[in-house]
Each structure stands twice: as structure tokens, then as C-alpha cells.
Structure 1
Amino acid sequence: CLHDTVGRKVEWHIIGSPACSDYVEWMEKDTFARHNVRFLGVLDADTIKDELLDCDLYIQPSYIDNSPNSLCEAMALGVPCIASATGGIPSIITHGVNGLLTQVNDPYALASAILRLSGDTDMMSRLSSAAMSTSHERHAPETIAKQLIEAYQSIMSR
């Protein structure tokens, strides 16, 4: 139980459609609610923003992912992020600079990163500021236009 480890109550809010959560509960003979896991379902943009602004950490434990919008949204709002180093995620997060990366399918590394970050408010603040800065630079209209023009020029030069 994370409550015993980090000294505070932990709630997991999962946004989106939960695939087979009833089956997992039946197999484990336990409930997610007992472990403070809440499936919020599919939410509108404003509710997602409110959920992100109300959380301490955003976690993206993907097996395969190219460029998850939800990670970019969390970073833009300044939520400290932990994500799996898979697909395009390492091009979004620089480990220890604007978020933390963990190995794919390594629950111990993920738990360690969660404990490390949740216990270090200075690191949370530093990662939060860097995430917002990275996000605003990466998604600025000028940056996107410049990258698009460079891509077209590269194609045309061939």
C-alpha cells in the first residue's frame, strides 16, 4: 500500500475507457476501489484539464506509444510526469530534466520513480517548470510552422 510507504493517501484516477477492468477484478478477487483506483471514463476537455490540474503526478506507463497527446497536455499544464521510455516518448521527455522516464514493463522501476518524485517537492517543482517550458516551445505555432517548412524544403530538395 503506497499510503504506508509515502505517508499519505494515494488515489489513482484513470481517464479513458477501462479495458476489461471487471475481468481483472474477478480474476484477482479484489476491487480497484479498495486500492483507491477510480476509472473516470471518457471525459470532455475541460474535465480532463481540471483533473490534470488537481493531480500531483501524471503517469504514462505505455508499452507502445508514439506521441501521446495526454502526456503533452499534462506537461503543458505543469504536471510533473513519469513515462515509459517507448516510441516517441523519449523525444518529449528528457529524463531528469522535464520528467522521469522508466523502462517499459518494469513495475518496480515505475514504483521507484513514483516514490522518488512524490517525496521530493523541489524535483517536482523543477520538472514542472521545465515541462511547461518544453511544451510551450515544442507546441508554439512558430515552432510548428518552422518545422513544417523545413520538412517540405527537405522533401522538395530531393
Structure 2
Amino acid sequence: MGSVQRLILGSASTDFTVVHLSTWESSSLGLQKIADFIRSFVHFFILLLLGKVDLAHIHISERGSLLRKFSLSTTANLFSVPVVMHAHGCEFHVFYQSSPAFLKRIISACLRQCACLIVLSDSWKDFYVKSCGLTADQVVVLKNPVVFPDFIPHRQGGDTITFAFMGKLNQRKGVYDIVNALALLDPHERSGMRIELGGSGETQAIQDLAKSLGVQDLIHFHGWVNEELRNQILAGADVFLLPSYNEGLPMALLEAMSWSLPSISTPVGGIPEVIDHGFNGLLVHPGDVTGLASAMALLRNDAELRLRLGHCARESICGLDLETYLTKICNIYLASTRTFCRQALEKA
């Protein structure tokens, strides 16, 4: 969510003015989180009172994020300001389906109030329409944007094939599966592999697992990575790994594809709508450690396949460039405003 917001803010059209209100900082804990939200809510309320808000673009996830953002959207509706909600939550379906009936009704009602709900894939659109009662016209599929690097390194491979991962180091992202899959491989085969893990999270637990399986020397932990280090890692990688259990449409995967990297991922969320198994990447089922190990071995040993999948990966997401994305965002803003005004006149 944060990556998408930064791209929008960094390249916003001069046709309108954007005021960014952050309701939560990643470093905030406890009472500070509440204080961050209250500060942003008050700022938003003042702008509404002054009549300086023509449209509210609200990014939502699940659980606490969802409930916080609904207070903003409800307030905007009280001031007759159209709301565009932007759903990023990779586990929203899990949260929604496990919620009690009364909470489901509240969530669905709040979502239906928005002029437009942006989702990351066709599968997510189907979910919001069928489960939450939104109309098909109300839900717009807009895949995440990606900034394409100008230069792609010449990858022919060597004695060591580098597999890169970017994201939160936890079970949902499949990081433990990566370590277990590496350990399943023949020692001679895995000796020609290197795993680069970029991200923070359950680092110590994953390091302990790697040590217990005897593969700790093959894994390098970078910790949190900035844009420059991310690009260095992707430039030096041969394969990207993202064996997730739940996803929206991960920016890390799109960024890897823009670097002409073949990916080994899973058919969850919007991933199967950008990864075509055997054409621009490989897909294994979540939790299938044996299948993951086989896919890693296949790409480790077949340089021609790696290069072909990587080339097709970059070509297949050419339509997700940032300029095209921003044009679509502007069109959504205009269409949502027109729709909101039309509905207001019909109610009057």
C-alpha cells in the first residue's frame, strides 16, 4: 500500500492538488498509533469544513485499517464528498468471512457508500461484488503500477544462481518454505544456489531454521532495503521467489518482472493474472515445499528457460507503467465525481 501511495504522490498530475494524510506510521505503537490517526482525522475534518475536499481517495487494508478508514469515508459522505476506496488487503477475504454477521453488514454497507472501489485483480472484483454486494460498475480493476529500469543486466548465469525474495519475512510470504525447499535439494545442487532475503520480520526464527537444516551459509539476510539496495539485489539476481499464501497484487513481484526476472510464485490473489505458468514464470501451490524445490532446481539448471521466462515477464507487464496508471487514476477520479453528482441529483 505504501509503495503505491508513494508512486502516486511522486508523480501526481498538476491538474489537481493532492493533500496526503497518513493515518498510521509503520514505526508507531500503542497510543502513538491512535494519536497519528486522530491528528489525520482532525486535519481531514477541517479541510472538509473549509470546503477544500472535492474527492477523497482512501487506501484500505483489513482489520484495524479498514475500521479506521471507514470513519473517514463516512465523514466524507456526510459532507457530500465522493469517496474512492482503494483495496490492498491481501487477507481481507479471511477477515471478512471470519467476522460475525453484524460486522459483515457494517463492512458491506460502508463499502457500498463509495463512488468507486479500486481492486487489484479480477478475482478480487468478483469477491467484493459477490460477498459485499457492490455493483460490478462500482468496482474497478486497476493493477499496481511499476517503474521500469532503463538498463537490464546481461544474465547468462555462472557457477552460482541467485534467488531473491523481497517482502515481510514471515509464514504468509512463504519464507519458511523457501528455507525448507532449499534443504530438500541435493547438497551438490544447492551448493550452486544463493538466496538473498530482503525485508524485515521474523529474521531470527528463519535464521534458526536455516541453521538447523544446515543451509545458513547459502542465505543472506539484508534486513529492510531501500530503493537503491532493492535495485542492486534485483539486478544481481537470476530468479525471484514469492511463494505466498495470500496476496493482493504484490509490488515486489511486479518490480522483479520489470527487471526481466523469472519468478516462482503461487496462484493466490492477483498473481495468476500476471504470471502465466510456463510462459513468464512458474507457479506452485502454497505450502508445496517439494514443488517449490523442484521449480528452484529447474531454473537453477536451465539457463535458457530462465532467460526466456524473464524476457516474457517484462514484456507481459508493459501496460503497467506508471504514466498509464496515473492516467487511469485521473479518469477514475473524474468518473467517480460525475457518478456521485448524478446519484445526488437522483436522490434530490
Q: Which of 187, 191, 195 pairs up with 1:12? A: 195
Distance change in 2, residues 1:76/1:23 (3 Å)? closer
Distance change in 2, residues 1:148/1:67 (3 Å)? farther
Give the 4+ runs in structure 1 shifted more than 6 A. Answer: none
Q: Does residue 1:120 correspond to 2:299, yes or no?
A: no
Q: Which of 94, 103, 115 pairs up with 2:285? A: 103
Q: Does residue 1:78 correspond to 2:78, yes or no?
A: no
The one-letter code sitting in structure 2 at the alignment partner of 1:117 is L
| Correspondence for 1:45 | 227
Q: Secondary structure at the match of 1:129?
A: helix
Cα distance in structure 2, aligned partners of 1:130 and 1:23: 36
The normalised TM-score by structure 2 is: 0.40
Q: Is the 8 A contact 1:16 1:42 kept in 2?
A: yes
Q: Is the 8 A contact 1:93 1:99 kept in 2?
A: yes
Q: CA deviation at 1:52?
A: 0.8
Q: Which has the larger radius of gyration?
A: 2
Cα distance in structure 2, aligned partners of 1:85 and 1:41: 26
Cα distance in structure 2, aligned partners of 1:39 and 1:7: 17
Q: Is the 8 A contact 1:3 1:9 kept in 2?
A: no
Q: Secondary structure at the match of 2:212?
A: coil
Q: CA deviation at 1:59?
A: 0.4
Q: How does 1:127-146 map to 2 (within 5 A)?
A: 127-139=309-321, 141-142=323-324, 145-146=327-328
Q: Is the 8 A contact 1:138 1:144 kept in 2?
A: no
Cα distance in structure 2, aligned partners of 1:17 and 1:119: 30
Aligned length: 157
Q: Secondary structure at the match of 1:30?
A: helix
| Correspondence for 2:4 | none
Partner deviation per Cα, 1:18-76 (whole Å, 9 max, x = no partner):
31x43455578737763411211001101111101101111001111111111100000
Q: CA deviation at 1:137?
A: 2.2
Structure 1's unaligned 5+ residue stretches are none
The share of aligned pairs that are identical, in percent, is: 26
The normalised TM-score by structure 1 is: 0.81
Distance change in 2, residues 1:61/1:28 (3 Å)? closer
Q: CA deviation at 1:142?
A: 2.9
